[in-house]
Structure 1
Amino acid sequence: MKNNVNSGLLTRNRVGKISEEDHLQQQHYLEVVKSFARLTYESVYVIDYEKMAFEYVSENSLFLCGHSSEEVLDMGYEFYFKNVPENDLKLLNLINEAGFDFFEKLPGNAKKLYSITYDFHLVNRDGKHILINHKLTPLFLTSGGKMWKAMCIVSISHHQNAGNVCIHKQGTDETWELNIENNVWRKSEKPKLTKREIEVLRLHAQGLTINQIAEKIFVSSDTVKYYRRQIFGRLGISNMVEALSYAVHNKII
């Protein structure tokens, strides 16, 4: 599997030769990507589907698995085959197929409004498995509507297991979750929190205790605990660390 050049990771979205007109889209865009990478703690890299290679890899260490960014850039897709466990490689193939099936049904430039997020393990040089969250969104499309280049963002996952595949549409609360058992997308809406619940989350993110939050918003500590329970229930999680991570990943706060 790891050295199978016929893997769907390498063949599913081949775009062929890019036209001169399509090349005009770029306009030194990598400088913007590099600037963004300097400002975020997350790992950033760019996939070129024409060359089936990485075009840029940031120096943020999480994604690199002990390699330098230059080494990962040179490896390209071989990086996945070397640093992703066998079962998760199979999962990535499934996600790749389902994701591009979904993407190809979207109309024209609306495709740029969508992003996909999922979790899988990386194995570092010490042999330790790290569960990461991986987000991907189109940067450029070909004139035929295929994804030419994509930007990927990597951070620590707040889940316990690989999978958790979702597609989001920018500017809406629309979300599609992939059932990996039957390969079917199910549409849902992003959970909504009240203004007070969002305020409590933000204050927790600042490091305040329950009592400090109660003083800050002029309620009792029991009321803050009630808001916390409401947040956990709406988000389907069980503790504040998970709640904060979920809220950040899903742009709730």
Structure 2
Amino acid sequence: MKNKINSSLLTKNRVGKISEADHFQQQQYLEVVQSFARLTYESIYVIDYEKMAFEYVSDNPLFLCGHTSEEVLNMGYDFYFKNVPEDDLQLLNLINEAGFDFFEKLPGNTKKMYSITYDFHLVNEDGKHILINHKLTPLFLTSDKKLWKAMCIVSISHHKNAGNICIHKQGTNDVWELNIKHMVWRKIEKPKLSKRELEILRLHAQGLTINQIAEKIFVAPDTVKYYRRRIFDRLGVSNIVEALSYAVHNKII
């Protein structure tokens, strides 16, 4: 006979009836953003397009370029002009134009299902260029479905060059890639891995070596190497670090 799990073991926190005042706190959405920032290694910030300013900047150091989060918050868009190389500033301008053209054509509230991702360089306090990946998705739309506020997530890019501009639709495999030369969005097929390839990639993510993976899934090390090569080919990467980064960024694992 199976033992029943005592529900009190799952959480000690018991909440009674919620007051109207407590419900009103839902409007303080920045607390949710701040909570998320505490849980992730990535840098988080929020753009307010009405004020053309940053509304929130996390204290995760990657995006700060040696500044404090408060300093970056106060800089707003000036942060880009001070910490992004000229060539990449021009790239960001193209991305802004093409991204909003794409966004404007989407129907109503479905706009919230889309996110854009791209890579550009930041110049840190030592003058070194760091290639970062930037993801942006809507938080709030206006009544006429314009983008009002957006959440942005910054992490180290797994690519070697700036660009790599894609739009993803949540809950689907739909991906659009921007051809910078012709300023045209084209739909592409998201890479798919077999069950075995996913298994090997996840075991690598756990820190296992080729020999350890081979032992765990009862195959020869050369078989693991064969699947690794297939993973690299499918994802368009050259090593396991890039493969893991790609898989995480694209929600493959």
The code of the aligned residue for 1:168 comes to H
Render the CA deviation track for 1:71-129: whole Å, top value 9, x for unaligned: 00000000001100000000000000000000000000100000000000001121111
The code of the aligned residue for 2:158 comes to H
In structure 2, the partner of 1:182 is 182
Shift of 1:226: 1.1
In structure 1, the partner of 2:123 is 123
In structure 1, the partner of 2:209 is 209
SS in structure 2 of the partner of residue 171 of structure 1: coil
Shift of 1:193: 0.4
Shift of 1:206: 1.1
Render the CA deviation track for 1:173-219: whole Å, top value 9, x for unaligned: 01000011111111012100011101100111111111100011111
Say whether residues 1:232 and 2:240 are aligned partners.
Answer: no
The code of the aligned residue for 1:153 comes to I
Say whether residues 1:86 and 2:121 are aligned partners.
Answer: no
The code of the aligned residue for 2:155 comes to S
Structure of larger gyration radius: 2
Aligned-residue RMSD, C-alpha? 1.2
In structure 2, the partner of 1:19 is none
- For 2:109 and 2:28, how far apart are their aligned partners in 1? 20
Shift of 1:229: 1.1
In structure 2, the partner of 1:30 is 30
- For 2:203 and 2:163, how far apart are their aligned partners in 1? 30
Say whether residues 1:242 and 2:242 are aligned partners.
Answer: yes
Say whether residues 1:171 and 2:189 are aligned partners.
Answer: no
Shift of 1:155: 0.2
In structure 1, the partner of 2:191 is 191
The code of the aligned residue for 1:152 comes to C
Say whether residues 1:70 and 2:80 are aligned partners.
Answer: no
- For 1:129 and 1:113, how far apart are their aligned partners in 2? 32
In structure 1, the partner of 2:153 is 153
Q: Larger relative contact order (C-alpha < 8 A, sep ≥ 6)?
A: 1
Say whether residues 1:40 and 2:40 are aligned partners.
Answer: yes
The code of the aligned residue for 1:105 comes to K
- For 1:197 and 1:126, how far apart are their aligned partners in 2? 40
Shift of 1:68: 0.1
The number of residue pairs the alignment matches comes to: 230
The code of the aligned residue for 1:207 comes to G
The code of the aligned residue for 2:225 comes to K
- For 2:113 and 2:35, how far apart are their aligned partners in 1? 22
% identity of equivalent residues: 85
- For 1:124 and 1:88, how far apart are their aligned partners in 2? 14
- For 1:234 and 1:84, how far apart are their aligned partners in 2? 32
The code of the aligned residue for 1:64 comes to L
TM-score (norm 2): 0.89
TM-score (norm 1): 0.89
Shift of 1:34: 0.2
The code of the aligned residue for 2:57 comes to V
SS in structure 2 of the partner of residue 185 of structure 1: strand
Q: Which runs of 4+ in 1 moved over 4 A?
A: none
- For 2:233 and 2:122, how far apart are their aligned partners in 1? 30
In structure 2, the partner of 1:108 is 108
For structure 1, list consecutive stretches of 5 or more residues without a partner in the other structure.
Answer: 1-23
Shift of 1:236: 1.1
